[in-house]
Each structure stands twice: as C-alpha cells, then as structure tokens.
Amino acid sequence: MSWAFNCVGKPAAVVAKIVEEAAITRCQEPEESYRKTALGLAAEAVGSYGPDFAVKVVASGSQWKDGDTVRHNQLNLQIEPLYGFVE
C-alpha cells in the first residue's frame, strides 16, 4: 500500500487540509498510524508559521507486508516555507 499528500498555501488553509486528510482512513495498520502521525507532525509544524507565509507540504509513504509481517516501510515528510510568495 502507498499514500501521498501534497498541499501548498497559507498556513491556516494547509493545516485545515491536513486535518481533513487525516480524518480519512487510507491504509492498513501499522501504516495508517504512521501516516496519521506524519500528518499530525506536519500540521503542528505548519501551524507555527505566521499568516503571511506560504508553505508547501509533501508527505508520502509505502508499506509491504508478507502476511502479518511488515517487510518494508518507507515514510517521507517535507515541510518548506515559500519565500517571495505574492497574492
């Protein structure tokens, strides 16, 4: 199973989108718990930016299970403030 989340915008709007995404179950356990933890960390970090910033969040992960045994788990989380953003 794999998942991805990408969002660019003002911090409050990005946090709202992250919360919306985290409310949806997309994966099997334990990957779903990792996905929700990564999104929670992203929401916390993005929430610390001031309202005049723009921010980009890219998150993804994948898991391979052999029966009940997790053989591989990959997680990527990038949070980037965007300078020079104009409206």
* pTM of the full structure: 0.88
* Matching CATH number, 2-82, of 3.30.54, 2.60.120, 3.30.40, 3.90.1690: 3.30.54
Task: Convert 22-42 to b/e letters by CB count within 10 Å (16 or more is b).
Answer: beeebbeeebbebbbebbeeb
Please write the tens of the pLDDT for every residue from 29-40.
899 999 999 999
User: 60 pLDDT exceeds 90?
Assistant: yes
